[in-house]
């Protein structure tokens, strides 16, 4: 059922076994594990491969969401629904999942098409995060919900701990948006100031305007990253100008 592009080579089996050992899990079907790492670009360039990891990603997203919600519900008995939702949105984010992928070695196991490989796909956050969700979905199918839940929870609990200790990477765009909505009844506006470099290595500069003040510009390797940096510049400036009260207002999602 899970064969995809022929039998696995001896070298690929060794690689997948090494991944299992590093992740602390064991698959009954290495073909299913292999499928979780198969990006659609690989199938587009290889007619013998008819399946990719997108359906597993869909399933894994549900497993991840339930495991995260359950963990937060049990661990944070006194927290309101809004607090739980904010923490959950962070621990299941693309940023966190891609970092987990790198720590597990998912990047080394990805099967990519030549074009995607050459464009740096092995390091793209979206591809890494999607493959991690696909891994969760594959493990659920292979070993059942209890084992999958235990595995996902072991990965998420340290991330939840970072949030509770205020050691996590903050989503400055979200913080600034909630601050602007609550205290100024407006939203931050981001503007592309300039971009430079070839298509495969672009740098973007974005500015952020909020309540009549402009911050930045700040740069990033894509627009999303540059917007985050501009939002952080705004955050730092507001805190510096408003002292502890501004800092308190901007800490909406840090607890």
* Active-site entry in 31, 57, 130, 133: 133
* Active-site entry in 61, 159, 227, 253: 61
SS (H, E, C) 13-63: HHHHHHHHHHHCCCCCCHHHHHHHCECHHHHHHCCCCCCCCHHHHHHHHHH
The residue whose two tokens read 């500015």 is: 207
Q: Answer yes or no: 199 catalytic.
A: no
3-state secondary structure of 71: helix
Q: Answer yes or no: 133 catalytic.
A: yes
Characterise 187 by phi-psi region: left (phi > 0), alpha (psi -120 to 50), beta (else): beta
101 contacts 129 by C-beta, under 8 angstroms: yes
SS (H, E, C) 122-164: HHCHHHHHHHHHHHHHHHHHHHCHHHHHHHHHHHHHHHHHHHH
Report the C-alpha gap between 177 and 186 in whole angstroms: 8
Tell me the HSE value of 12 on the side-chain side, using a 13 A CA sphere. 16
3-state secondary structure of 190: strand
Active site residues: 61, 133
């Amino acid at each position: 059922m899970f064969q995809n592009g022929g039998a696995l080579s001896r070298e690929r089996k060794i690689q997948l076994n090494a991944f299992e050992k590093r992740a602390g899990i064991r698959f009954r079907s290495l073909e299913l594990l292999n499928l979780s790492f198969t990006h659609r670009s690989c199938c587009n360039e290889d007619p013998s491969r008819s399946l990719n990891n997108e359906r597993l990603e869909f399933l894994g997203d549900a497993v991840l969401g339930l495991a995260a919600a359950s963990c937060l519900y049990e661990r944070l008995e006194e927290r309101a629904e809004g607090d739980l939702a904010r923490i959950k949105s962070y621990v299941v984010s693309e940023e966190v999942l891609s970092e987990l992928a790198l720590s597990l070695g998912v990047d080394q196991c990805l099967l990519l098409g030549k074009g995607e490989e050459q464009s740096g796909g092995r390091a793209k956050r979206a591809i890494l995060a999607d493959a991690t969700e696909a891994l969760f979905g594959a493990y659920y199918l292979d070993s059942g919900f209890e084992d999958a839940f235990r595995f996902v929870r072991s990965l998420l609990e340290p991330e939840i701990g970072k949030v509770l200790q205020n050691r996590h990477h903050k989503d400055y765009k979200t913080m600034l948006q909630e601050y602007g909505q609550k205290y100024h009844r407006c939203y931050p506006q981001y503007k592309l100031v300039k971009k430079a470099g070839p298509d495969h290595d672009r740098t973007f500069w974005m500015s952020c305007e909020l309540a009549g003040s402009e911050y930045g510009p700040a740069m990033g390797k894509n627009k999303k990253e540059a917007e985050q940096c501009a939002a952080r510049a705004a955050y730092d400036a507001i805190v510096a100008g408003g002292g502890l009260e501004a800092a308190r207002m901007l800490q909406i999602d840090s607890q």
